[in-house]
Amino acid sequence: MTIHIKDVAYTRLKTSDLGAATDFASRILGLQPVERTVRCHGFRSNERAMTLSYEEGNPGENIVGFELGDEDELDRAAATLEAMGHVVRRGSREQCEQRCVRDFIGFRDAGGAQIEFAVGLEVSGNRVFYSRDAGITGFSHVGLFSNDPIRDEHFWTQVCNARVSDRVGELPLLRISQIHHSIALIPAPRSGVQHINHQVQSIDDVQRSFALLRKQNVPIVFGPGRHPTSGARFIYFEGPDGMVFEYSVGVNEVDEETYRERQFGFEPTSFCMWGAKPAIKELTS
Ligand SMILES: O=C/C=C/C(C(=O)O)=C(/O)C(=O)O
Ligand SMILES: [Fe+2]
């Protein structure tokens, strides 16, 4: 039975410098700090209680969490994954509390990436109080490294409910709703989270952040530009431990009945129609 993912829910990043990462997430990225323990600092970007966290540890060991419908679906997903040979672990009470979810399962995908499926994502009664006026409207998608995009595309589209919106060379952009993509699989000899996207309100927010990031000496690794794939206007920049963050606005929505996936060439104009060139090695070689 298909694992029906509703949305991308959270990323949990590890860092060797929790202080610097926390400073970046609030002062630069602009998220609202929420739960905080000595070793783990949480942040929110939309109505959810937590959408990103930093904790002390190996930066290569980051986690991405997706939302499933209910506990029955979670049980069925666990059974499906176990039947495929994955080792599935159930979140402990404490781990659920850290994530602000009712229940979750965790497993490593075939490439070794740490994936979680969660239910009962806590929503906050208070609107988000962003640390700066970056214009963020929410957490929207992740790029995941893949050492075998065909195998991983099969997992997300055949075992789960994702559909291919576009491909750039072998890089598929996968949707799980009408939004053009929630997962991008970036071919690379490694696994885990490659970039984290937050949507912003307008192109003015992209440009304002461009100025702010330059002033703060944050490495800008792509843009400002416009993706011909999703139509989004974007800027990509580098945070702690080399993690790439993206702000974008205007991601197309897809009409499920009429949309047909498209194949783009693996070349700069497929990544940006304004002429910006990515300084991200996986998008250039
Ligand atoms: O292939 C290039 C990038 C595409 C997009 C997009 O169409 O919006 C991304 O945001 C992405 O890869 O994450
Ligand atoms: Fe993106």
Q: What is the mean pLDDT of residues 109-127?
A: 97
| 171 CB near ligand 1 (under 6 Å) | yes
Looking at residue 199, what is its pLDDT?
98
Q: Give the residue numbers spanning the domain of 59.
A: 7-119
pLDDT band for 3, please (50, 70, 90 cuts): very high
Looking at residue 285, what is its pLDDT?
67
Q: Please give the distance, rounded to the nearest whole angstrom, from the Cα atom of residue 197 to the centre of ligand 2.
A: 6
In a domain, 21, yes or no: yes
Residues 206 and 81 in one domain: no
Q: Residues 174-203: pLDDT tens digits? A: 999 999 999 999 999 999 999 999 999 999
Looking at residue 36, what is its pLDDT?
79
Looking at residue 239, what is its pLDDT?
98
Q: Please give the distance, rounded to the nearest whole angstrom, from the Cα atom of residue 232 to the centre of ligand 2.
A: 9
Task: Please count the structural domains in the chain.
Answer: 2
| 143 CB near ligand 1 (under 6 Å) | yes
Task: Count CB atoms within 10 A of the CB of residue 130.
Answer: 17
Residues 11 and 143 in one domain: no
Average pLDDT, the chain: 97
| 227 CB near ligand 1 (under 6 Å) | yes
Alpha carbon nearest to ligand 1 atom 3, residue: 271
Residues 228 and 260 in one domain: yes
Residues 180 and 243 in one domain: yes
Residues 177 and 277 in one domain: yes
Residues 74 and 178 in one domain: no
Q: Please give the distance, rounded to the nearest whole angstrom, from the Cα atom of residue 64 to the centre of ligand 2.
A: 15
Residues 90 and 140 in one domain: no
In a domain, 45, yes or no: yes
In a domain, 27, yes or no: yes
Looking at residue 132, what is its pLDDT?
97
Ligand 1 nearest-atom number relative to CA 271: 2
pLDDT beyond 70 at 266: yes
Task: Count CB atoms within 10 A of the CB of residue 85.
Answer: 7
